Amino acid sequence: MLLLGLGAAIVLLREVFRIPLGLPGHHGVEAMALLATARFCTDHRWGATIAAMGAALTAGAIGAGHGGLFPALYLLPGLVIDTGAMLVPGWRRRLLWIPLFAALGHATKPVVKWFALGGTDVHMGSMVNGLPYPLTTHLLFGFTGALVATLGWRALEKRSSSS
């Protein structure tokens, strides 16, 4: 339930804080922080994916989906994080693995949108400047959010091990 709740929080935070920064992917900070937290707080190999399913279900339930692609846009980052963690057995011991996987996972959103638009230079919405700009911003916001969560998780582990 905790993992599904983290996923629901992703959607609820996005809906509550509708701050139009004009930067594609800026909600990736909180979304990838929550997915990274989901990955850290369980030994379940699909922890981030379960949280991502919670986000997709919540988005569908409250009508916050963005067209027919929204389930994939929510699920893919969790799948990328979990698959990366499965491929790198020592991911918990290294600071940058989860932020890297989260960055790649969050970057799936503009890539999926680009393919859905036919892989052309359709300049609309977040693709107004083409694919490179939203791809870069999604990578940066995803990495940043997961890095903050990773640092927070490590500080919590250090604190609880010293107590």
Q: Which helix (H) or strand (E) holds 35?
A: helix 28-40
pLDDT score for 115:
85
- Rounded to whole angstroms, the Cα distance separating 41 from 118 reads 38
The region, left, alpha or beta by phi > 0 then psi within -120 to 50, assigned to residue 136 is: alpha
Asked whether residue 85 carries a pLDDT value surpassing 90, the answer given is yes
- Rounded to whole angstroms, the Cα distance separating 62 from 17 reads 15
pLDDT tens profile 125-136: 777 778 899 999
pLDDT tens profile 7-40: 999 999 888 887 778 789 999 999 999 999 999 9
pLDDT score for 114:
84
pLDDT score for 86:
96
Say whether 152 sits in a helix, a strand or coil: helix
pLDDT score for 102:
98
CA angle 115, 120, 123 (to 5 degrees): 105
Confidence of residue 123 (pLDDT cuts 50, 70, 90): low
